[in-house]
Chain A
C-alpha cells in the first residue's frame, strides 16, 4: 500500500497590479538579479568592498576592506546617498576618476532597481519573502549525485574485495564553487559514459561470480529445488543490492532482478549466469551509480525536511571513508540510530577511529586542492627536463602525505599547513628539490631547511607546478587558486573587452615585471592587485617548483603587498595566511559543501558560523571539526528541491518508497 502524496503550495506573493509595495518588491527582485550578475563576482570576494549597508555609508569607510583606491579615499567626506550611487553607477570612472570600479549600469531603471536592492542588504529585511513554500508528507528525492571514480572504486573494493579489477575510463568530472563534489551534483551520464559503466558492471559481475573465486553466495548453483534456488537468489540480490544501493531494495527492485536471474538460469541451465545478470543490473542501476539522497518531513520541525536514515549513512560514510556504508552503518540506519544524538555520535566516532578515515581525508583534500590536475599535467620537456608523470604523481602524494601527517596523525592546527616545513619526499622529488635522498625506503620524512626558501604546502612542488603554465611560472594562476581554494574567494573572469595593448611584451625581464604592468592598467588592476601578490612572493620557484633566483639574467624580487600588508617570499606569505580569518571559515564551508554536494543554504549560515567558532576554540583541529559537524542536526537538514510541485500531482500511484 503506497502512501498518498499531498503537496500544498503556499504562495505568499501578492497578485494584481503592481503598485506601491508590489512595485517595490518587483524592483528589488530585478535589482537582486543585477546584483547577482554584475556585482557579487567582485564584492563578495573582497576585490570590492562588501555592499551590505552601503546606502547611507560614508565613501571608502568599510573597516574590513583595505584596498580602496586613492581616488575614493580622498572622498571620504562624501556619503553614498542614493543619488550619489546613481551617478557613480552610471559611469564610475567619469564620476570619480581613478576609482577601480569596473562595472557600469547605464540604464537608469536598472540603477534604481539595483539601489533599491542594495538598501535591503543593510536593513536585515528578508528579501526571500514571497517565494513559494511546500509542505510534503512523504519521502522525496533531494539530490542525485553521480559517484566519482574513487567512490566507485572504493565501493566495489569494500563490497566485493580488493581483488576485483576495475578497468574503464570514467566520465569527466566537473568543478563548481571550487569542488568537484559540488560540480558532480549537476552531472548526469552521457551515452558513452553509460557504455563504460555498463561494460564495467559486466566485468565486475563476471569476476565476482568467477567459479575460481570462493563465494558462498554463488553457491546457489548447489541449491536443489526451485524454491531453494529462488530463496538463494533472493538472498544474493538482497544482500548485494543493499550494499550497492546503500539501502535495502524495494520489493519491486528485488523481484525484477530475481526474475531475470531465474529466467536465464531456467533457460540456459546456468545458475551462475543468472546471478551474474542480476548483479550486472544492480551495478548498472542509477541507484548505485548515483547517490540518490532522500529526505522526509522532520517531525521535530514542522514544514522542514531532514535526510532519511540511509541517506545519512551514505553521507557520513562518503565523508569519512570516501566509500559506501558498511553493514554496521546500514544497520544503524535501519534501526533509526542515526536520528538519535548518541547513536549518531557512536557511529561518527567509529568512522573517525577507523584506518579508512585517512582515505576520506585524502579524498577531501584531493578535491579541495584540485589534485586531479596531476593526472594530465603537461610540462614542456625542453624547459623542464626533470618533469615526468612520476614527478607529478609524487608531488600529489607529497601534498597528501604532508596533510595527513600534520592534520590527522599529529592533529596540528590546520593553519600550520602554511608554515610547517615538515614533509615527506621520495627519490624523484629529491631530484627536483635538489637535495640528497639517502633513505632506502620509497618515502622518507624530510624537513626543508631555511635556505630552501620553502614554507608550507604552497611552496611544495605540487602546488607550484600544478598552478603554472607548461613552460613558465604563473603568479596570477597561483594567486587565483590560493584565493579560491583556501579563502573561498573565486576571481571573476577577465572582462572580454580588456585592453591588452597596454601590456608590454616581455621576452626579456621577469614575469613579475610583466604583471606589474597589469597593475598600472585600470582595466586589470582591480583583480590583479589581489590575485598576483601571493604569486609574486612565490616567484623564486619556476613552473615546476624548482628554486631559482634569476629570470632571464635578472634577480627576482619576491616582495609583495596584499590588502595593505607587505610581505616577502614564501615564508612571508605563509605567515600572512596563517593569521587570515577567512581561511578557517573557508575550510568549514568546504567540509560542508564537499559532504552535501552544495554550498550551505542561507538557513545553514548560523550552523557554519557556529562550527567555525568551535573550530577556533578547539585549536583548529580537523578531526574535531569534522566530527562536530557530522553530529549536528543542521548537517542533515535539506531544502525542498525546486520544481517538485510540478511532478507531485502525478506521484501518488508511483510508489517511490515501498521500503
Chain B
C-alpha cells in the first residue's frame, strides 16, 4: 500500500479526519526544487489575460508625459501616474512609444487604438474589428483543460456591458459585470472543488452531453445553403456548443488538486454607480474572485475591462465625466499639463494596481498567482485630449511562469503596438510566429522582456 503524502492529507490527519478546506501557506516540502510545480510533478499552469482601461495616460504638451519613466531597462522610476503599481513594479514591464498605425484609414476615436492592439489591424468601422482579437487565440491554446476557456469581466458599471474580445469581429464577449455574477459563474452550480476528497462524476452531465449532440446534428444541413455572413455566425454558434461540450467533459474528470484553491463565500450586491471609486472597488472585488477562480483552475484566460474607451467614469460629485474633462480641460500654464485629467488618470490606474495586488495576494508555488500569470494591460489612446494613438500606454505584468523578464521600461517610439501583443502571445507559448496586417504586421517580439 502506497502512502500518499500530500499537504491536505497531512492537514486532515492533524484535524482528526474532518474534511477541511482552507488556504494555507505552502511548505517547501510539497514543491519540487525549482518551485514551478508541485511535488506531485504537476506543473503550475500559466494564465493569460488582458486588462483594459479607457482614456490612456496624460501627456505634457510641451514635451514629456506624466507617466513615461525617464530611464529605460530594469529598475525604472515611478512617475506620478504609475504610483498605483509601485508595490508590484518589479513584476511589471512598462512599454512606451508604441503606436497604432491606421494606414490611410480614419483614426476612429476611442476605437482604433485598442482594436489595433487586439486585432492587429486598424478597423474600418467603429464597433467592430476586422480580425478576431488575439486573446481568443491564446485562450484556444491555454484553455482546453479548464471548465471555462476564458472569463470576461467588465467592472466599468457602464450603460452597456463592455468587452473587446471577439472571434467574428462583430459579436463581442458577454462579460460578467458584478461580483455576484462572477462568483456564480466560477463557483456556483457546476463548480467542483479540486481539493475535495469525495469527488464523484455527476451522472447528469452525460445526459447533457446527449442533448448537445442532438443540437449539433443538423449542422451540415444548416451550413449547406447559407451566405458568407450567416455562415460565420453559425460557425461561431457551433464553436460555442463545442466549448460547452468541453466544459462537460472537463467536469467528468477528477480535477487535479490545487493547493492554492480556497473557494470564496458568495459576495453581496454592490451599490450601482460609475464613479471611479465605485469602479475601483468593483475592480478589486472581481479581481479577487477571478484570482481564486484561476487558483482553482476554472479558467486560464480572461479579459478584464476597468473602464470603456470613451470612459464615462467620474469623480463622485463632479458633473463632468472623465471623457469630457480630457477634452475640455485646458493645459495648466504653470504645471504644463491638465491637472484634473492627470488626477483622474492616477485614480484609474489605482484600479490596475488593485487588480495586480489581488493576483499577487494568492500564494502559489514558491511565489504568487501573479508570477504564473501574464497580464497585458493597455488603453484606447495615448494622450486622450487629442485622441492620439501614438504612445499608447501598455504594460506586461506577472511572471508568465518565469518567462517574463519583468520590471523593465521599454521605450521604442514609433514601433507598432502589435509587437507588444506578439510578445504577450509568445510569452505564454501561443503558437504564433507573426501578428498583424500591413504596416503593423510583425514577426519581432520585444525580446528584451523574454527569458
Using a CB–CB cutoff of 8 Å, the interface residues on chain A facing chain B are 5, 37, 138-144, 169, 171-172, 174, 176, 186-196, 198, 201-202, 250, 252-253, 256-257, 260, 263-264, 273, 277-278, 280-281, 284-287, 289-290, 292, 372-373, 376-378, 380-383, 389, 469-472, 493-501, 503-506, 514, 543, 640-644, 646-648, 650-651, 654-658
Contacts and interface: CB of A to CB of B under 8 A. Distances in A.
A495 to B, nearest CB: 8
A494 B110 CA distance: 11
B230 A143 contact: yes
- Count chain A CB atoms within 10 A of each CB in B161, B185, B224, B239 and give the residue with the most: B224
B239 to A, nearest CB: 8
B2 interface: no
Contact of B225 (A186, A284, A648): A648
A174 B272 contact: no
Contacts of B230: 141, 143-144, 641
Given A186-B170, A281-B214, 8 more contacts: A141-B230, A172-B161, A189-B171, A260-B214, A281-B211, A469-B324, A500-B327, A658-B221
Nearest to B381: A496
B320 interface: yes
Interface in B205-251: 207-208, 210-215, 217-218, 220-241, 243-244, 247
12 contacts: A144-B226, A172-B160, A188-B235, A191-B148, A194-B241, A260-B211, A284-B212, A500-B328, A641-B229, A647-B225, A648-B225, A654-B220
B127 interface: yes
A380 B319 contact: yes
B399 to A, nearest CB: 28
A196 B157 CA distance: 21
Interface residues of B, number: 86
A174 B232 CA distance: 17
Contact of A470 (B107, B173, B321, B331): B321
A471 B320 contact: yes
A250 B243 contact: no
Interface in B277-318: 312, 314, 316-318
Contacts of A278: 214
Nearest to A279: B211
A500 B229 contact: no
Contact of B329 (A471, A505, A654): A505
A256 B225 contact: no
A496 B108 contact: yes
B240 A656 contact: no
Contacts of B331: 501
B106 A378 contact: no
Nearest to B275: A380
Contact of A493 (B126, B160, B210, B228): B126
Contacts of A646: 228
Contacts of A143: 230
Given A188-B232, A469-B324, A496-B387, A286 B222 contact: yes
Contact of A376 (B160, B207, B218, B229): B160
A382 B227 contact: no
Given A470-B274, A505-B328, A643-B227, A193 B212 contact: no
B358 interface: no
Contacts of A506: 328
A287 B221 CA distance: 11
Interface in B144-195: 148-152, 157-161, 163, 167-168, 170-175, 181, 185
Contacts of A469: 312, 319-321, 324
B186 to A, nearest CB: 12
Nearest to B228: A643
A535 to B, nearest CB: 15
Among B151, B213, B226, find the residue whose CB has the most chain A CB atoms closer than 10 A.
Answer: B226
A161 B261 CA distance: 43
B413 interface: no
A500 B225 contact: no
B197 to A, nearest CB: 28
Contact of A198 (B107, B236, B244, B328): B244
B227 A264 contact: no
Contact of B240 (A37, A194, A501, A504): A194
Given A380-B275, A503-B327, A642-B229, A190 B224 contact: no
Contact of A472 (B171, B244, B320): B320
A17 to B, nearest CB: 27
A389 B269 CA distance: 15
Contacts of B181: 169
* 8 nearest A-B pairs in the assembled complex, by CB-CB distance: A641-B227, A643-B228, A654-B224, A471-B319, A496-B107, A188-B236, A194-B240, A281-B214
A543 B324 CA distance: 15
Contacts of B185: 192
A555 B255 CA distance: 68
Most buried by A among B108, B168, B213, B222: B222
A193 B159 contact: no
Given A188-B232, A252-B218, A373-B159, A380 B314 contact: yes
A273 B204 CA distance: 10
B27 interface: no
Interface string B262-282: 000000000011110000000
A195 B319 contact: no
A25 B408 CA distance: 55
Contacts of A277: 207, 210-211, 214
Contacts of A503: 327-328
Nearest to B236: A188
B385 interface: yes
B386 interface: yes
Interface in B34-70: none
A656 B222 contact: yes
Query: Which of B225, B228, B330 has the largest count of A CB atoms less than 10 A from its CB?
Result: B225
Given A140-B226, A142-B227, A195 B221 contact: no
A252 B220 CA distance: 12
B229 A643 contact: yes
Interface in B310-347: 312, 314, 316-321, 324, 327-331
Interface in B109-154: 109, 112, 124, 126-127, 148-152
Contact of B314 (A141, A281, A470, A496): A470
Contacts of B275: 380
Contacts of B226: 140-141, 144, 641, 644, 647
Given A493-B109, A497-B107, A284 B228 contact: no
A656 B319 contact: no
Contacts of B389: 496
A284 B229 CA distance: 22
Contacts of A470: 274, 312, 314, 321
A195 B243 CA distance: 9
A193 B240 contact: yes
Contacts of B385: 500
Contacts of A650: 224
Contacts of B108: 493, 496
A195 B220 CA distance: 22
Contacts of B247: 195
Given A472-B319, A497-B386, A651 B225 contact: yes
A230 to B, nearest CB: 16
A655 B244 contact: no
B321 A194 contact: no
A144 B233 contact: yes
B316 A380 contact: yes
A640 B273 CA distance: 47
A294 to B, nearest CB: 8
Given A140-B226, A643-B228, A644-B225, A174 B170 contact: yes
A381 B272 CA distance: 10
Contacts of B329: 505
A381 B273 contact: yes
Nearest to A287: B218
Contacts of B312: 378, 469-470
